[in-house]
Amino acid sequence: MVIQSDVLTPLSTLLVAPTSQSALAATFRPEVTIDTQPTRVLLEQMAAVDIRRTSDSIGRLSVEEMWAVDEALALVVGLHI
């Protein structure tokens, strides 16, 4: 899952977080729906990858899912929002 701002689109890399349908629940692993399946975003494993290693988009998160990702991301990187 791409987790970087659209402002950074011109860069040759993307900040991504892997997803899992079997990962254990945690406050830093928000649950989202991907292809109708509940999926956890593993924000503690985010990394920068070359944009050429990515594929087409498979969807978008709801506003509520984005808020959950934002809150968990703030927790993982130590921001206080």
Sequence ranges of the domains in the chain: 6-77
pLDDT digits over 7-50, tens only? 988 888 999 999 999 999 999 999 999 999 999 999 999 999 99
* 81, pLDDT greater than 70: no
pLDDT score recorded for residue 28: 95
> Which position has the higher pLDDT, 20 or 5?
20
- Top-level CATH class of 6-77? mainly beta
Q: How far apart, in whole angstroms, are the C-alpha atoms of residue 78 and residue 57?
A: 28
DSSP 3-state of 38: strand
Tell how strand 31-34 and strand 47-50 pair up.
Answer: unpaired
